[in-house]
């Protein structure tokens, strides 16, 4: 039997979560990869919403480096990203330790949101991470003009064909300029928006590949 052609099996099917699992019958090593996409209509609600969610993703990634460094040394890895429709999480590594890594990441998301909601004065180090994330995101957004013609063409085509859709100039206006000075992005607002997306009205889709209980 060629198990490589065997499709993943749907093991959880609820209004909030659909999860597929595919057993590793080829290499038979104690490793697993889990990918989860948390879809929420709030992520891309407005230019401000998607900008704040991308900032939270950057702060979370920076913050988690200190929490999961030992896990990455031991062969376990994680990744968090924010796209217009959802947050995406992925963890991979040895099956025995992977559930613990996933618990650490999800628990830190909840505690990080709470700390950010307490404000700059309560957590000055976190405020510095937020400021650095905002500077990095602004620089990355501005660098769009240096993308290849193919990437630029694809982006402009998306502007024409999708709705609702926001232009990069809308994102830049949220972080720099007269409007940004009048109503600046704050760490507290960032946490509140992220909390609404991650713990509010959402639906998760997940794929697990490997050998895990």
pLDDT in tens, 23-61: 988 888 889 999 999 999 999 999 999 999 999 999 999
Rounded Cα distance between 53 and 133, Å, is 11
Average pLDDT over residues 136-163: 92
| Res. 166: pLDDT tops 80 | yes
The answer to whether the beta carbons of residues 30 and 74 sit under 8 Å apart is no
The rounded mean pLDDT for the chain is 92
- Per-residue burial over 33-59, b if 16 or more Cβ lie within 10 Å, else e, is bbbbbbbbebbbeebbbbbbbbbbbbb
In DSSP terms, which residues pair with 10 in a beta bridge?
A: 20
Q: What is the pLDDT of residue 1?
A: 63
pLDDT at 123: 96
Report angle CA 116, 172, 196 to the nearest 5 degrees. Answer: 35
pLDDT at 168: 93
Tokens 């996933």 belong to: 102
Query: Which pLDDT score is estimated for 185?
Result: 97
> Cα 130–142–49 angle (5° rounding)?
50
Q: Residues 77-91: what's their mean pLDDT? A: 94
- Residue 186: its pLDDT value, please? 97
- Please, are residues 101 and 128 in contact by the beta-carbon 8 Å criterion? no
Residue 3 has pLDDT above 80, yes or no: no
User: Phi and psi at residue 19, in whole multiples of 5°?
Assistant: -130, 135
Whole-prediction pTM value?
A: 0.92
**What is the arrangement of strands in the sheet containing 9-13, beginning at the earlier edge strand?**
9-13, 17-22, 203-210, 31-39, 86-94, 77-83
pLDDT value of position 197: 96
pLDDT at 206 over 80: yes
* % of the chain beyond a pLDDT of 70: 99
Give pLDDT, residue 164: 87
- Evaluate if residue 17 carries a pLDDT over 80: yes
Checking if the pLDDT of 144 tops 80, the result is yes
Residues 88, 78, 107, 188, Cα dihedral to 10°: -60
Stretch 172-189: mean pLDDT = 95
pLDDT at residue number 33:
94
């Amino acid at each position: 039997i060629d198990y490589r052609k065997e499709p993943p099996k749907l093991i959880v099917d609820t209004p909030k979560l659909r999860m597929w699992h595919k057993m590793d019958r080829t290499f038979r090593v104690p490793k697993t990869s889990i990918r989860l996409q948390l879809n929420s209509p709030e992520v891309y609600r407005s230019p401000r919403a998607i900008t704040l969610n991308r900032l939270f993703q950057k702060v979370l990634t920076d913050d988690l480096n200190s929490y999961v460094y030992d896990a990455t040394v031991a062969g376990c890895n994680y990744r968090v990203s924010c796209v217009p429709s959802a947050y995406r999480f992925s963890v991979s590594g040895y099956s025995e330790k992977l559930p613990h890594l996933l618990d650490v990441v999800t628990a830190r998301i909840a505690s990080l949101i709470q700390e950010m909601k307490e404000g700059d004065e309560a957590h000055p180090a976190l405020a510095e991470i937020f400021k650095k994330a905002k500077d990095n995101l602004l620089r990355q957004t501005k660098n769009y003009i240096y993308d290849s013609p193919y990437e630029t063409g694809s982006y402009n085509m998306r502007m024409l064909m999708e709705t609702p859709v926001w232009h990069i100039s809308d994102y830049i206006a949220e972080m720099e300029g007269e409007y940004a000075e009048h109503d600046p992005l704050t760490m507290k607002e960032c946490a509140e928006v992220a909390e609404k997306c991650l713990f509010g009205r959402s639906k998760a889709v997940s794929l697990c590949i490997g050998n895990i209980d």
